[in-house]
Structure 1
Amino acid sequence: MSELDRWIEIAKECKYLPEHDLKVSSNVQSNSFVSFFFLPHVLFDRPKLCDMVSDILLEESNVQPVCSPVTVCGDIHGQFYDLEELFRNGGPVPETNYIFMGDFVDRGYYSLETLTRLLTLKAKWSDRIVLLRGNHESRQITHVYGFYDECLNKYGNANAWKYCCKVFDLLTIAALIDEQVLCVHGGLSPLIKTLDQIRIIDRRQEIPHKGAFCDLVWSDPEDVRTWTVSPRGAGWLFGASITHLFMEINDLKLICRAHQLVNEGYRYMFDDKLVTVWSAPNYCYRCGNVASILRIQNADEQTPVIFEAVPNTERVIPPTLTTPYFL
């Protein structure tokens, strides 16, 4: 069994990897004299998980092209056991191609294990799974809503969080299925008229507080005429006319996004030109909602698959609680 296959098996069991399997210590790497004479196995070690995934992400476009059929997924938010239920309903990787539209971490009990699970799949089958960046894949948000504290508690230091945040900085912004279906975490931006403008964004950074990059991961569709200030404090609310114009300019048939809890698991808006997909059932373990994934056979054929949360009898509930706040 290869090292990567071993990591995949560990991650399946809702376990996180030892720190040295995420990334070799930069302190050891930086002292080549000490490494050579005392830790030669470290000096010549193979790249670890975060390095492997980072190398893959560096080759991906801001608007990553994807061919159908593919299954599109919304927010997961650290609900590991429900992610496994998602795979049971949607099919395992690599038999099923997936796009996950961000917000892998925060709020749930197992953000670290959830992210590790997805990263190991990305490292093994990079062409079968696309990971988009959500507004929670950022240093500022994870420092407040759970992921930072979880890493600190489980590892005893913040190194793993730092490694993961460097991966966050490389996650792509959007995916384009068959050149006709756009997937993005949040929504549109008044600064973005064409897909080419998304392609030239410098994504290798912390998500800014404002601007096009910020809008794409923070904005929401709403019954408004054009653009309205978002109550989230970042991004915008945008309406049907904005959506239809953007789709006409870019020759799109559908926009898929996540970012908002919908109790029915998915919701079409704007003459069925935009769909919100939500993949965290019983969100925060108390909302009672169902979740969904969207099977896209082609640009004209989409099938939502509804699934419910795993019963408490089939999951391990840790004693500590996550931050009970909605953002």
Structure 2
Amino acid sequence: MTDSAWQGWSQTFLDLGHLMGPLKGEVRYPDRITLIRGNHESRQITQVYGFYDECLRKYGSVTVWRYCTEIFDYLSLSAIIDGKIFCVHGGLSPSIQTLDQIRTIDRKQEVPHDGPMCDLLWSDPEDTTGWGVSPRGAGYLFGSDVVAQFNAANDIDMICRAHQLVMEGYKWHFNETVLTVWSAPNYCYRCGNVAAILELDEHLQKDFIIFEAAPQETRGIPSKKPVADYFL
């Protein structure tokens, strides 16, 4: 990593990988690594997909789980790269028209069941116009016209997000104004997808690093987890 390099993580890192690696990176390089909160970085979701049970099993109490979930409350909800690329885990919100409105959100809380903070972590792009009801039960579906209006109002070129499994690692939407990047290869040890990392140079030129999961014989396989359908 060079002095000028910056890394942003918008992928949900809990339940899709190791938690301590990204956290240690941001502590060690706070000016070069930014973690963005995802929908899995919440108390409710961690009790559904195994993190709570894992902490209880390994440490005999919920203390470690409680400390980790308190850290989640301090993670950024979004990031902006050179004023032109808006990074967020999920997507847009009908309650948010400007980046300044995001800055006013009190992020130091559990993820609400609705509202602008929830929408940033749960929403998805959809080939439609306007806003739609999300099948996830949280957030919204948003169309190309919503993206065009948001990007123009904030003078940005594109939105970079995660939140949805992409078999090829990344996927463009709406004439390359929205990009989904998925960085967990072979999701749940069964989906067979590759993963991607978006690399930007000093001129914001884009390059994608595509990688596969490590061979099974080189790493331990944890007990099988249920597939989270809302990633598919």
Q: Give the TM interval when normalised to the shorter protein.
A: over 0.9
Asked if 1:194 is matched to 2:103, the reply is no
Aligned pair count reads 230
The 5 A counterparts of 1:24-39 are: none
1:26 is aligned to none
Alpha-carbon contact 2:134-2:140 (below 8 Å) kept: yes
1:101 is aligned to 10
Alpha-carbon shift at residue 325 of structure 1 (Å): 3.3
1:40-80 deviation line (CA, Å, top 9, x unaligned): xxxxxxxxxxxxxxxxxxxxxxxxxxxxxxxxxxxxxxxxx
Alpha-carbon distance change, 101 to 285 in structure 1, aligned in 2, over 3 angstroms: same
1:167-199 deviation line (CA, Å, top 9, x unaligned): 001101001000111000000000000000001
The 5 A counterparts of 1:146-185 are: 146-185=50-89
The one of 168, 176, 190 equivalent to 1:264 is: 168
Alpha-carbon contact 2:188-2:224 (below 8 Å) kept: no
Alpha-carbon shift at residue 149 of structure 1 (Å): 1.2
SS of 1:207's equivalent?
A: coil
SS of 1:267's equivalent?
A: strand
Which residue type is aligned with residue 213 of structure 1?
A: M
Alpha-carbon distance change, 131 to 193 in structure 1, aligned in 2, over 3 angstroms: same
Asked if 1:129 is matched to 2:38, the reply is no
The one of 274, 278, 293 equivalent to 2:197 is: 293
SS of 2:69's equivalent?
A: helix
State the alpha-carbon separation in 1 of the partners of residues 115 and 191 from structure 2: 32
The 5 A counterparts of 1:241-256 are: 241-256=145-160
Greater relative CO, 1 or 2 (CA 8 Å, sep 6+): 1
Asked if 1:225 is matched to 2:132, the reply is no
1:312 is aligned to 216
Alpha-carbon shift at residue 324 of structure 1 (Å): 3.3
State the alpha-carbon separation in 1 of the partners of residues 40 and 25 from structure 2: 20
Alpha-carbon shift at residue 205 of structure 1 (Å): 0.2
1:211-235 deviation line (CA, Å, top 9, x unaligned): 0000000000010111000000000
Q: Which runs of 5+ in 1 are unaligned?
A: 1-91
1:118 is aligned to 22
SS of 1:203's equivalent?
A: coil
Q: Which runs of 5+ in 2 are unaligned?
A: none
SS of 1:190's equivalent?
A: coil
State the alpha-carbon separation in 1 of the partners of residues 182 and 36 from structure 2: 14
State the alpha-carbon separation in 2 of the partners of residues 257 and 299 from structure 1: 20
Q: Which of 1 and 2 has greater Rg?
A: 1
1:73-119 deviation line (CA, Å, top 9, x unaligned): xxxxxxxxxxxxxxxxxxx587842100141112x5xx5xx111111
Which residue type is aligned with residue 169 of structure 1?
A: D
Quote the RMSD (CA, aligned, Å). Answer: 1.5
Compute the TM-score of the two structures, normalised by the length of structure 2: 0.95
State the alpha-carbon separation in 2 of the partners of residues 160 and 326 from structure 1: 27
Compute the TM-score of the two structures, normalised by the length of structure 1: 0.68
State the alpha-carbon separation in 1 of the partners of residues 153 and 4 from structure 2: 34
State the alpha-carbon separation in 2 of the partners of residues 212 and 164 from structure 1: 23
